[in-house]
Amino acid sequence: AAPARPAKLGQCVACHGEDGRSRIAGTPHLAGQDETYLVNALTAYRQGRRQAVPMNTIANTLQPRDIAALARWYAQQRAPGSRP
């Protein structure tokens, strides 16, 4: 079944899109990305081990369950460039 819409998805969609297809050059596509990588990236932003504006600020508002839900959501989106 499609993953539930994460409560904090609203903070991501401006740059990453709801479908994980980046709206801005330089902003990565997240659709179909490796779920573990997404959890690790968000955790690194939250712990300051990785820096990017505005990711650190946003990651600080995320609980581990938010990180898990957002990583699952984007990992399961159809990847960019793939036929709908």
Q: Is 43 among the residues that bind a copy of itself (CB under 8 A)?
A: no
Q: Is 51 among the residues that bind a copy of itself (CB under 8 A)?
A: yes
Q: Is 12 among the residues that bind a copy of itself (CB under 8 A)?
A: no
Q: Of 13, 37, 32, 31, nearest to 23 (Cα)?
A: 13
Residues with Cβ < 8 Å from 56, sequence gap 6 or more?
45, 46, 48
Least distance (Å) between residue 1 CB and a copy of itself:
17
Q: How far apart, in whole angstroms, are the C-alpha atoms of residue 5 and residue 12?
A: 12
Q: Which residues bind a copy of itself (CB under 8 A)?
A: 22, 25-29, 31-34, 36-37, 40, 49-51, 78-83
